[in-house]
Every structure is written in structure tokens, then in C-alpha cells.
Amino acid sequence: MRLRILIILSILFINGKSFGQNGDESKDYLVTINTEYGKIKMLLFDDTPLHKENFIRLAEAGVYDHIIFHRVINHFMIQSGDYTTRNEPVDYDPRVIGEPIPAEILPHHLNVHGAVGAPRRGDDVNPERKSSNTQFYIIQNCKGAHHLDGKFTVFGQVMSGFEVIDSVASQPTSSKDRPMKNIRITVDIDQVSKDDIEKFYNFTY
């Protein structure tokens, strides 16, 4: 019994270290997506821990740096996360990119304006609705995209930079919804006081 407890505690410690929080529950991660049009700042939900940890791990490794918004549909959403669109080398262990993520579809996380969700393959080949291991979308439509509710994992919410999302979404695209001009991003991850997040972004924990 004692050995089992020690193993569980070890797993929790390892997960906490890899997640980067170091046990400080007074702070949360603030994600900044940097673009030529400005910055998009967003929070990732604690109750979708697999998606949150995956995104932070990839961002800290640099997987998202110098890639593009590869799919853009004005009045709907913008999509990024395809590391094959990078134009500059980034040194990271490719093993940081894992398998598709088990679904964390929750009824209270809807595809509202600024929702951050995970694309996935269709139900015919993916009945478990596992998410892409790297890609993410951001809902641009101010009325939301509620036809996606209950079908895709929503794991975050944009706090500021909605005008940047609109600028990206308004760019001319090809017949495959890819912007004619590459819009590249870099991603920063910062730990911020939850008190400051509640104060500056009107977010309630």
C-alpha cells in the first residue's frame, strides 16, 4: 500500500514539473500569440487538462513558432498549429509531439466568440473524437459557432486581441481557405497571478 502511494505521488510530481506550475496555485498560464497584426492573449481551461498541458508543452518547446494560420474562414474561425508550415528551423525533440488527444468535450465550454478549440478527424475514422495533437482554432464569429458544440473539445478562451483575429480572418484566401499571404506566429507562455488575470481580463476562477 505504501509503495502504491509513493508511485502515485511520484507521478503527480512528475506531471506537475512537466506542466511548469511548480505547485503555485495562485498563478495561471497566459498564452500570447504574436502576429504582424498584433497580439492575441488567451487562457486555457483547467478542466481540460490534457489539452492545456499539451498546448503549453508544445509552445514552450517552440513547436508553434514561425508557423502560419493555414485555414481561415471569415465570419467563422481562424486555424493554426500545423508545424509543417514552418519556414525557419526550431530545435526541439520531435517526441514532444504526441498522439491525438483524448476528447475533453464539456457541456459548459461552448464555441463562443473567442473560444479556442481543437480540430479533429471526422467521426467516421475517429469515433472517439480525439483531437489533433497540435492544431487549434479560434472562433471569430461574434455570435459563436454553436453547430460545433458537443463535437469538438473547447479548451480555452481569448481574453484580448479580438481585432487581431478579425484582421487575420479578413485576409484573402485560396479555394482551400488558406490565406494568400502567409501570416506567421510565435507563441509566448507566461505565468501570471490569477488576481491580475481576474482584474485585467474580467475572468472568474
In angstroms, the CA 72 to CA 179 distance is 7
User: Rounded mean pLDDT of 67-74?
Assistant: 98
Q: Does residue 1 or residue 58 have the better pLDDT?
A: 58
Confidence check: pLDDT of 173 > 90: yes
The predicted structure's pLDDT at residue 24: 82
Whole-angstrom distance, CA of residue 33 vs CA of residue 114: 13
Average pLDDT over residues 190-194: 97
Residues of the chain above pLDDT 70, percent: 89
pLDDT at residue 9 tops 70: no
Taking the C-alpha atoms of residue 15 and residue 11, their distance in angstroms, rounded to an integer, is 6
**What is the DSSP code (8-state) at residue 146?**
G
Per-residue pLDDT, 19: 45
Report whether 68 contacts 85 (CB < 8 A). Answer: yes
The mean pLDDT value of the chain amounts to 91
Domain limits of the chain?
27-201
Q: Report the pLDDT value the prediction gives residue 1, as an integer from 0 to 100.
A: 44
Specify the pLDDT at position 7: 38
Report, as an integer, the average pLDDT of 140-155.
98
Q: What is the pLDDT of residue 11?
A: 36
List, for residues 88-136, the tens digit of each pLDDT value: 999 999 999 999 999 999 999 999 999 999 999 999 999 999 999 999 9
Residue 8 pLDDT greater than 50, yes or no: no
Cβ neighbours around 131 below 10 Å, total: 26
* Tens-digit pLDDT profile for residues 18-43: 444 456 899 999 999 999 999 999 99
pLDDT value at position 23?
60
Mean pLDDT of 34-61: 98
Kindly report which listed range (15-19, 30-34, 46-50) carries the lowest average pLDDT score. Answer: 15-19
What backbone torsions phi and psi does residue 72 show, to the nearest 5 degrees?
Answer: -140, 125
Superfamily of domain 27-201: Cyclophilin-like (2.40.100.10)
In the predicted model, is pLDDT for residue 77 greater than 80? Answer: yes
